[in-house]
Chains A and B, each alone.
Chain A
Amino acid sequence: MTLVDIRGLDVGYVRHRTIQPAVSGLDLTVAQGEVVAIVGESGSGKTTTASALIGLLPANGRITAGSAKVDGVETAGARERTLRGLRGSVVGLIPQDPMVGLNPTQRVGAQIAEAVRLRGIAGPAAAAEALSFLEQAGVSEPDLRAQQYPHELSGGLRQRVLIAIALAGRPKLIIADEPTSALDVTVQKRILDHLGGLVRDQGISLLIITHDLAVAAERADRVVVMRHGRKVEEGDPQALLNTPRQPYTRQLVAASPRLEPRFRTATPQTPAPILTLTEVSKTFAVNDRRRGRRGFNALDKVSVEVPRGQTHALVGESGCGKTTTLRIALGLETATSGSVVLDGTGISGLSWNRLRPLRRKAQLVHQDPFATLDPKFTVRQSVTEPLVSFRVGDRRTREARARELLDQVALPASYLDRLPRELSGGQRQRVAIARALALEPELIMLDEPVSALDVLVQEQILTLLAELQQALGLSYLFVSHDLSVVARISHTVSVLSEGRVVEQGPVAEVFTQPQSPYTKELINAIPGRSLDAA
């Protein structure tokens, strides 16, 4: 039986009195009990499709043509009352980001019970049923958790609460919109495994919306690839991965992260380090309501070396201390004990003024290219700002340097007068890299530099970084949670867990023959591993 039947669907957004199409001529079906995945980059129309199905298009969203039937009910042009009848009871939604998907001022139990009550169950029975859904979603101690507020739960637990809410309406279809992109890989794997089991047992259909081809291929019966609002290709995951018919799908498959170290053999002799962290520890004072004042060991005797002209990566899940390590290496944070030596100079305990000249040697590129560029600065201003602040050159030489820098990051000189909002995510990250290069540093610290970007753009930025390293002899300290990205750029790697280095060495060794159980778990959690093995 067909549960979702979309034919020739056009959806657009009204902007300045014109309709800009977001989805055009889409055909899509989901059968009862089937798991379908829609894969695409940002702006491909995948989320718009899902919103249309559940009648939650933004106020300026319009279905302009075609039909989208859910469980026999037409949603195109439907009244709010009809759509409300579908929401919850026929279609459940697991939203994108669990950190913001729950009402912060209501206990999570109440938020689930609310969905139960819509089925006509009242009073204590609703609360009891809410607990059983929490349990189904894989939350241990459900009666304790139900009494807590969202901010008291971890990201993984919040995502499970959202799953419980989606289940509570007893829907026939669950739409999971990038359900785990905001979570660590090991948590992501556990939650997706659990969700897959639930829908299979209860005969619920699942529509997964994702940017990650590997996640889609691993878990769906059928994969639909979308781009620019159109369907590019559709088919069985194995067939799609092994014999993609469309050039775009081929590109996606090629760019899809795999754990293939770029440097298969360790360099015969590792060059002398430009940055050395020796037994660095960092303790934060924490006020815990239950346990009182105590110290929290963010870092515990971490030793890291970045070889000159090479890339050293720090990998680990959120809270493992990789960002703290980076901040200490930059001198933004002082270590509780241990030493940091940058290019022969110890920086621990240096005052701001003594540290400032050293900042020319080491620069930082942040994760979010949308937040790190001043929205009021043109590209020229952003790129030359470090030169101005260190009083390097005059107006004319700075202009020449700005052009040279843009050329290095493969942006045309005509972009000098653009503002950040006129650039795409990848272009912004190029500008951020150009700004970091302005003072000719020897070491660049990269904090998740490609995590906010689409797969194909990720690939381009990583290639650019590798080229820059070759041309300018740069050293990188590369922080990432994504092992496949690390594999593509790094020579050596440190795996961090709970503030400790659990494994360290050349990427080629660590990723192919992991020694510690934690590294093994991380590697096994990478989406698509089961497909590679098959």
Chain B
Amino acid sequence: MTRYVLGRIAQAVIVLWAAYTLTFAILFLLPSDPMELQLAAAGVQPDSLSAEQVAAIKHQFGLDQSIWAQYWHHLSGVVRGDFGTSLTQQVPVSDLLSQRIGQTLLLSVSAAVVSLVAGSALAYLATFARWNPLRVLLTRLPALGASFPQFFVALFAIQFFSFQLGWFPATGTQGFASLIMPVLTISVLTSSVLAQVLIKSFDETLSQAYITTARAKGLSRSAVHLRHALRNAALPALTILGVIVGLTVTSSIVTETVFTRDGVGKLAQEAVLAQDVPVVLAVVTVAATIFVLVNLVVDLLYPLLDPRISHTRGRPSGRPVAVVEGATL
């Protein structure tokens, strides 16, 4: 068991490092000159500087060093919690992050909770509704929900709930009311994904032979569902739960931009537009950390829910590799 936990933690650290390095490599390959950006932010024309001045500035920011030295310098900073300085805003990246991350975490956690409740409820109803047309309708619903692009849902919500009904504010970060539509926007997608997986999993579980055994004992319908079907059906869904929590984080980019919320998502969008490399790198690193942590928790929960896993050495079947999940960024 200790080996299992240590193995999973080691895996998480490797994934995190790989995500960071990949992002660093991609950003380094971008055809932009960090020094020009800084000078533009400071209002200085690059042409007005002499070659010596340019060299001095490059030296000051470490831009004259080799890529390996820069990589090492930056990585060791990240390990200490120092993400460098924003190229456009001239303030430490960690300050920018700490100002904004609260809003995004609030949004993500709310959306994850809503998705979990709504997705499970939908799946349960779709599986156990006795009236056939209702069951068919509920079973097809998640496919619809997963097909709508988030910006579309967001714009629709603003048009309908803010402009026509005037129930919720269309933009802003102030108060509970401003949170509702962004959470709704994210949850439409994530709860649909969860419901799809759960419905399929319930269907498969209910056709298992041990369900027949349970029914043959004379157990009531609800006892069969709660004691025998639920836990077994939840196992595959647990995997998707890790992806869903990650999705709520990445969805914040679109949602915060559309609803003009001052979160990390909007920060990321602005930083990408302005080619503010240290900020983008920091946001990606934070998002990857959240992904990795959530999936680590899921991995550690597995043996508690499924007694078969602590005895197998390999990765439990059905768990996708965390790197692939991170790629949805």
- Is residue A89 within 8 Å, beta carbon to beta carbon, of the partner chain? yes
Partner-contacting stretch, out of A71-79, A90-98, A387-395: A90-98
Residues of B within 8 A of A149 (CB): 307-308
Residues of A within 8 A of B143 (CB): none
- Is residue B210 within 8 Å, beta carbon to beta carbon, of the partner chain? yes
Interface residues of A in 104-120 (CB under 8 A from B): 104-106, 111, 114-115, 118
Q: Distance (Å) between the CB of A50 and the closest chain B CB? A: 10
Chain B: which residue is nearest A287 at the CB level?
B313
Chain B: which residue is nearest A168 at the CB level?
B217
Interface residues on A, range: 35 or more
B-contact bits for A145-172, CB 8 A (1 contact / 0 none) = 0000101000000000010011011000
- Is residue B171 within 8 Å, beta carbon to beta carbon, of the partner chain? no
Tell me how many residues of B have a C-beta within 8 Å of chain A.
Answer: 24
Q: Distance (Å) between the CB of B60 and the closest chain A CB? A: 56
Contact A162/B213 with A100-B208, A104-B306, A105-B306 known, Cβ cut-off 8 Å: yes
Contact across chains for A103 and B216 when beta carbons are under 8 A apart: no
Partner-contacting stretch, out of B71-79, B182-190, B226-234: B226-234
Q: Distance (Å) between the CB of A177 and the closest chain B CB? A: 10
- Is residue B220 within 8 Å, beta carbon to beta carbon, of the partner chain? yes
**How far, in whole Å, are A242 and B118 apart by their CA atoms in the complex?**
65
Interface residues of B in 185-235 (CB under 8 A from A): 208-210, 212-221, 227-228, 231-232, 235
- Is residue A54 within 8 Å, beta carbon to beta carbon, of the partner chain? yes
Chain A: which residue is nearest B235 at the CB level?
A105
Residue of B212, B218, B228, B235 near A95 (CB, 8 A) is B212
Interface residues of B in 225-259 (CB under 8 A from A): 227-228, 231-232, 235
Contact across chains for B217 and A88 when beta carbons are under 8 A apart: yes
**How far, in whole Å, are A320 and B208 apart by their CA atoms in the complex?**
29
- Is residue A56 within 8 Å, beta carbon to beta carbon, of the partner chain? yes
- Is residue A206 within 8 Å, beta carbon to beta carbon, of the partner chain? no
Residues of A within 8 A of B69 (CB): none
**How far, in whole Å, are A102 and B213 apart by their CA atoms in the complex?**
7
**How far, in whole Å, are A518 and B3 apart by their CA atoms in the complex?**
41
Residues of A within 8 A of B210 (CB): 100-104
Q: Distance (Å) between the CB of A47 and the closest chain B CB? A: 11
Chain A: which residue is nearest B3 at the CB level?
A287
Contact A87/B231 with A101-B209, A104-B210 known, Cβ cut-off 8 Å: no
Contact across chains for A87 and B218 when beta carbons are under 8 A apart: yes
- Is residue B311 within 8 Å, beta carbon to beta carbon, of the partner chain? yes
Contact across chains for B218 and A88 when beta carbons are under 8 A apart: yes
**How far, in whole Å, are A102 and B211 apart by their CA atoms in the complex?**
8
Contact across chains for B217 and A114 when beta carbons are under 8 A apart: yes
The 10 closest A-B pairs by CB, nearest first: A88-B218, A93-B216, A87-B218, A100-B209, A115-B217, A149-B307, A103-B210, A88-B217, A101-B209, A151-B308
17 A–B contacts from the bound complex (CB under 8 Å): A84-B220, A85-B218, A87-B217, A93-B213, A100-B209, A101-B209, A102-B210, A103-B228, A104-B307, A105-B231, A105-B305, A105-B306, A105-B307, A115-B217, A151-B307, A151-B311, A162-B213
Interface residues of B (CB under 8 A from A): 208-210, 212-221, 227-228, 231-232, 235, 305-308, 311, 313
